Structure 1
């Protein structure tokens, strides 16, 4: 007999943050405690009706960590009750390939001209430019060569470096090799929109900022505006947007922000209990404070392509 955890039907951080993060908190409390091996538990995937890429990337990371923790492959159960589109999305994202799930029923892929093309998950604990290069090759094949491609590459590399060198302190148990990052990407043909996302299970940007080279510049700003997680992320984004010659830990944000000099879109960072979104059209940053921590850092770029077929 299994105990089942029920995720929210709308599995989206943007639309349903509190319920999605509440699900992950419940999941972690069930998975990592003294009695975790006494009674098996599962996720009621049949409850899912819509899965957004960011939340799905987090789910992949959590299941990857759990599988390493229990030391065996996870199984997919009651698959006939899952929503067909959700099962197809998870398959196309590469969730079952990432986990080497042994008993997944195959699902027909979308037709020859789908509106959404998805790049399967990548995971590593090293910063390998070839991983980004492969994703960019796939995106270029889908969407054509982009003038901003070099900036996308640089931004992804910097995000992976941040995960590798700064996200994982030596004071905590993470369940994965320090430096582990997860990445995916997609192209929406109808919206003509490219998206790339990176997630890590580390301590979060607000926890690492005081040890970074940016802190001496951000501290005066934060002393005036407050220093909750959202404001810390927003201050780092704003400082990075207006500086192009930062060194070390500080140079990632300018690269990420410059992606949006070439195409309309946004940069979204969710870390700790804070969220900040930079909109290239309004040149503004919107902050949101949350009650619960995301349990890592999610960085997402969404860039509209000007290319016409």
Structure 2
């Protein structure tokens, strides 16, 4: 389960997972007893025993789907054949706090951040309000201090590094769940976040997911500035029957120009700030999956976009940067 390796198979699997987990009615039970002659009946489940590999991004989306099912049905879906799961998959989900979301393990005393050698990991967080966003900011700042304990990063890296993720979470609250959009599945109006910092490699990886209306839907309504519309209109051709055909274009526009409708330089810069940090560090990668679109930006300005027939079920952002040993720029405030 790695989006880079098999995007279409992954989105098919996730769509099937949503249907299985949400087919149970609110107040129903997942496992029903059918009498002495018959074994228990399971209303819905997903078997992970065939999964060979799972990325952090995939684990985050799965956690969001299970949390949605728990919230709607008011009980956690069952996990089956756990003894047959691959050790790597089991460990990945455990370290990210997946089982505590389902109430199977109690990791409250272990804390949200844990360190193993040169790696600090932020377990899966979810939020929707300003307080939860602020708490996530504090966790991410801890990861930053772990990577840069002597505060040696120059301002042209440190400032956008700190602000980009805050802006991304604020954007979810403000734009991802419009009231006038007809969602296929009931959403929770939340974001999900996981991250890790590797001190030896001086790298930071952050993954954010939401179940919202997606960038191709919301950005096309928000992109009112002339230069943004010109960029989109030069590529998008009318009459395309495949509804997701230009999703990658709208994601690229959002990453390049941000979502500000006013043109003010300090607003709507979450995604552009992520690109800026990659360029300043000269090493990193940003991958955005939203509805059926995919946009990839690599250090040095190399980018690509593509579109698929199946939606990822929201917007997934995976940001990886490797900090320079001696970054350029002014270190003073």
- Structure 2 distance, partners of 1:53, 1:133, is 21
- Structure 1 distance, partners of 2:177, 2:314, is 9
Shift in Å, 1:45: 1.4
Q: Which residue of 1 aligns with 2:51?
A: 48
- Structure 2 distance, partners of 1:78, 1:143, is 42
Shift in Å, 1:139: 4.4
For residues 103 and 159 of structure 1, do their structure 2 counterparts lie closer, same or farther at Cα, with a shift above 3 Å needed?
Answer: closer
The alignment partner of 1:130 has SS state of helix
- Structure 2 distance, partners of 1:64, 1:196, is 20
Q: How does 1:113-128 map to 2 (within 5 A)?
A: 117-127=120-130, 128=133
Shift in Å, 1:78: 2.5
More deviation, 230-239/81-90:
230-239
Equivalent in 134, 141, 144 of residue 139 of structure 2 = 134
Superposition misfits of 4+ residues, deviation over 6 angstroms: none
Equivalent in 306, 311, 316 of residue 288 of structure 1 = 306
- Structure 2 distance, partners of 1:271, 1:246, is 25
Q: TM-score, normalised by structure 2?
A: 0.76
8 Å contact from structure 1 (residues 209, 215) kept in 2: no
Q: Which residue of 2 aligns with 1:150?
A: 159
Larger radius of gyration: 2
- Structure 2 distance, partners of 1:120, 1:270, is 21
Gapped runs of 5+ residues in structure 1?
Answer: 1-10, 105-111
Q: Which residue of 2 aligns with 1:193?
A: 203
Shift in Å, 1:194: 1.1
8 Å contact from structure 1 (residues 212, 249) kept in 2: no
Matched, 1:277 2:296: yes
Gapped runs of 5+ residues in structure 2?
Answer: 31-41, 108-114, 238-245, 327-333
Q: How many residues in Structure 1 have an aligned counterpart in Structure 2?
A: 287
More deviation, 210-219/228-237:
210-219
Matched, 1:21 2:7: no
Q: Which residue of 1 aligns with 2:101?
A: 98
Q: How does 1:151-230 map to 2 (within 5 A)?
A: 151-170=160-179, 171-173=181-183, 174-178=185-189, 180-188=190-198, 191-214=201-224, 216-226=226-236, 228-230=246-248
The alignment partner of 1:198 has SS state of strand
For residues 69 and 267 of structure 1, do their structure 2 counterparts lie closer, same or farther at Cα, with a shift above 3 Å needed?
Answer: same
Residue deviations 1:237-285, cap 9 Å, x none? 23359xxx6358633333222222432212221111111111122x132
More deviation, 120-129/168-177:
168-177
- Structure 1 distance, partners of 2:103, 2:256, is 41
